[in-house]
């Protein structure tokens, strides 16, 4: 179902297009503004200069040009409830732009005559996102700029980015002493570990038989060796006559590379923790009724989440367990009750779930993201 039933390019927006066509201005979209005001059929949207009940100011997260239509652009607005302290109905949305003579104007407006979709208050458990892609007239897309400072990333963009990270992590896995990370092909994010002809380690750890095409660096003495016939005629390690200054420089580079690899390993570990997910089933029969300190009825239950601690800052998402349409609708209602009236509290190896005033009527799934691997 569409959120908005009416759309209009305002008179101020039309005037800005005329200025842009006359090369007197560049159309700079500054932000999107959402609101809860309702607009009747008899109200002139083209005359709108502000929303009736503004609620959120949102930066644009993307801009694109439709194929074969350079007179329009598509703006992406990600409406997120991260900083919302109370629920509101999404009944109006304005696209704001900067007019060089007037200042910020309502360029276009979308409105609804009924309350159909709402943005919930943030309860500290999971974020809610509504992504709107708006095709908007500009006459010439080459004269358009947008403000993206502070924009939220949509779920689709987040998923695409996560796939890239997983692919990169797969390339980083493996490898052994003496290997170096190399580009595997011309394909993006394709890396693999390759044997290198520079082996850096203490001399007493050099292999008993060296490679003829390798250089061996003694990390204890900053000296360089090659494997070749010695003056005695027997094969062995021959120290190259490298000056002390050059040896020190090489040692500094080796140390810097080693530190960079350790830092990368730490960052990879942090990413793996950030993206690790643990899914659980919350059972309808396991809620225990009680009373909060202010007399409000509350329902609680504890679910096991391996690796959870009291200080874990995990993000909670819905995780569906239903296998058919009717069960899925019932599960969505149960999750809506929990995310609307509930909260979670991390403990050692478990999470305490609390719902106030009402409890979910059926089993539903939850997914905790950012939980460390249980040791």
Q: What is the pLDDT of residue 297?
A: 93
Per-residue pLDDT, 152: 55
Cβ atoms 71, 140 nearer than 8 A? yes
Among 22, 27, 23, which residue's Cα sits nearest to residue 12? 27
Q: What is the pLDDT of residue 333?
A: 92
Q: What is the pLDDT of residues 18-52, one digit of tens each?
A: 888 888 888 899 899 999 999 988 999 999 999 99
CB 99 within 8 A of CB 136: no
Give mean pLDDT, residues 8-12.
92
- Are the C-beta atoms of residues 80 and 88 closer than 8 Å to each other? no
**Residue-wise pLDDT tens digits, 217-234:** 888 887 888 888 776 778
Higher local confidence (pLDDT), 216 or 142: 216
Per-residue pLDDT reduced to its tens digit, 261-294? 777 777 766 666 676 788 899 999 999 999 999 9
Cα Rg for the chain, rounded, in angstroms? 30
% of residues, the chain, pLDDT over 70: 81
Please tell me which residue, 238 or 168, carries the higher pLDDT value. Answer: 238
Is the pLDDT reported for residue 93 higher than 90?
A: yes
Q: Would you kindly state where each structural domain of the chain is located, as residue ranges?
A: 6-153, 197-274, 277-369
98-102, 242-246, 353-357: least confident range: 242-246
Query: Does position 255 have pLDDT exceeding 90, yes or no?
Result: no
Distances (CA, A) of 92 to 5, 130, 351, 353: 10, 14, 38, 35
Q: In the prediction, which pLDDT does 103 show?
A: 94
Of the candidates 213, 23, 45, the one whose C-alpha atom is nearest the C-alpha of residue 100 is 23
Q: What is the pLDDT of residues 299-354, one digit of tens each?
A: 999 999 888 888 888 888 888 898 998 888 999 999 888 988 889 898 888 999 99
Residue 150: what pLDDT?
57
Which pLDDT band, with edges at 50, 70 and 90, does 75 fall under? confident
Bigger pLDDT: 168 vs 368: 368
User: 281 or 149: whose pLDDT is higher?
Assistant: 281
**pLDDT score for 159:** 59
Q: How high is the pLDDT of residue 254? A: 74
Q: Lowest-confidence range among 133-142, 145-154, 262-271, 351-360?
A: 145-154
Q: What is the mean pLDDT of residues 131-137?
A: 85
C-beta separation of 84 from 119 below 8 A: yes
């Amino acid at each position: 179902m569409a959120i908005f039933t009416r759309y209009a390019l305002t008179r101020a927006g039309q005037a800005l297009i005329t200025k842009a066509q006359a090369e007197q201005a560049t159309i700079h979209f500054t932000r999107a503004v959402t609101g809860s005001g309702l607009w009747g059929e008899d109200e002139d949207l083209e005359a709108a200069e502000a929303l009736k009940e503004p609620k959120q100011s949102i930066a644009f997260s993307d801009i694109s040009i439709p194929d074969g239509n350079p007179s329009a652009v598509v703006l992406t607005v990600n409406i997120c409830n991260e900083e919302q302290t109370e629920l509101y109905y999404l009944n109006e949305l304005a696209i704001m732009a900067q007019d060089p003579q007037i200042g910020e104007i309502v360029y276009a407006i979308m409105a609804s005559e009924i309350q159909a979709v709402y943005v919930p208050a943030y309860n500290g458990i999971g974020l809610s996102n509504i992504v709107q892609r708006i095709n908007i007239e500009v006459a010439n897309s080459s004269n358009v700029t947008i403000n993206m400072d502070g924009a939220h990333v949509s779920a689709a963009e987040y998923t695409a980015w996560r796939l890239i990270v997983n692919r990169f992590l797969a390339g980083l896995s493996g490898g052994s002493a003496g290997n170096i990370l190399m580009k595997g092909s011309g394909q993006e994010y394709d890396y693999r570990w390759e044997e290198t002809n520079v082996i850096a380690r203490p001399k007493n750890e050099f292999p008993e038989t060296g490679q003829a095409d390798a250089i061996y660096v003694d990390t204890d003495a900053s000296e360089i060796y090659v494997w070749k016939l010695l003056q005695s005629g027997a094969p062995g390690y021959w120290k190259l006559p490298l000056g002390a200054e050059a040896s020190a420089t090489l040692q500094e580079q080796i140390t810097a590379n080693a530190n960079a690899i350790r830092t990368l390993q730490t960052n990879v570990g942090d990413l793996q923790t950030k993206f690790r997910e643990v899914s659980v089933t919350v059972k309808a029969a396991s809620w225990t009724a009680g009373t909060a300190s202010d007399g409000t009825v509350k329902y609680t239950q504890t679910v096991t989440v391996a690796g959870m601690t009291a200080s874990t800052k995990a993000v909670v998402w819905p995780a569906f367990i239903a296998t058919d349409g009717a069960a899925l609708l019932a599960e969505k209602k149960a999750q809506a009750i929990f995310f609307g009236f509930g909260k979670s509290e991390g403990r050692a190896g478990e999470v305490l779930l609390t719902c106030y005033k009402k409890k979910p009527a059926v089993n539903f799934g939850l997914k905790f993201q950012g939980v460390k691997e249980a040791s």
